Structure 1
Amino acid sequence: MSSETRPANGDTRTFLGAIIRNPFELGAIAPSSKAVARLAASVVPVTHGAVVVELGAGGGVISDAIRERLPPGGRQLAVELNDDMVRHLRRSRPWLEVIADDAGDLEKLLGRAGVTRVDAVISSLPWTLFDEQRQKHILDGVSAALALGGRFSTVITLSAMPSRRFRRFRGLLNHTFATVGTMGPVWLNVPPALVFTASRSHSDPGE
């Protein structure tokens, strides 16, 4: 069943149930809107054979937007820690390679999947629930996984932006990536959100 015909209320019910059981694991009050999902997925390249990894796939709204953009021959993986969401994604989206684990172990997880470099990483992780050390560890893993010229996007709600942990996260983005930008805001998302984008340099001296 395509994302156009799949009932969205099934995703929402599963997501809300998971929030009730594990509110600090998901860190959101509702799934991302389709408008936010399209913005987040805009970093997906249209080149044949592109590899895209999603961190914190949740109910699968962004997964659907990635699939719609990913060209034939591409590979799409999703890392999700919450057990309810993992079961839901595997049941509702059998085409998605779901990895049931912690995004902080990205290098190890990709190695197990036979992936050495990815072209895009897309995240809806709850960054402001993480301390600075964990934020840095995950971002370092994303940067290491990205191919030169690879792009990263992450959803940030406007309500999270006044927090000290967001300001630390914003500083880490600037420190980790060659370029950082924003798209949005999307006011009809619950709550309203921005999408931050970042990319590695095409001439990274570390390579």
Structure 2
Amino acid sequence: MTQSTFEELARVGDRLSDALRLEFIDGKIGEKALPDGDHGRIIEWLTRRCIQTDVGWWLYPDQGLRVETYRKGNARPDGVLAPSGTFVGQGEWAGTEGVLMTVEVTSHDSDTDQRDRVEKPRAYAEAGIPVYLLIDRVAGEVKVHSQPGDGRYDVVTTVTFGKTVMLPDPVGFELATEPLKDWVH
């Protein structure tokens, strides 16, 4: 399937369905369930924390990104941390230049394991995104992926909910994960 065919299919799908979103990673179409209220609250909480660190940043929810350097792919992270205005004029599927961090919050669907824990870290690393933050509601832990190189992140730090974890540069702040315990239903 070509990139343009996927984009047309995604546009049609967006008009037809309120239940899922499409992504194109590793040459395969995948579907992503729409978030629940706890998922939305986690993104709200993280957005506030990011802009407290730097008022020039914004955590863009559901910004489509072109990922994978060797295979044209499209992902729609739950959040994309970038300087305000980074995606102006880029359309639905933007480049990754200026992206500081991508964020995924696991959903309660059958594809979460493969999509959020395997495919997306690889795609984000290939795209050179400095930090990938996975908030894993199923495992009750946060994984911080950093130092992308050779199609993977060389450093992965895992903490259970309730502990503090450092989000490395260029993000560069500590994230206290205690509040996440309230949103894992």
TM-score grouping bracket, smaller chain normalisation = 0.3 to 0.5
TM-score by length of structure 1 reads 0.38
Judging by fraction of residues, say which structure has more strand. Answer: 2
The structure with higher relative contact order (CA 8 Å, sep 6+) is 1
Judging by fraction of residues, say which structure has more helix. Answer: 1
TM-score by length of structure 2 reads 0.41
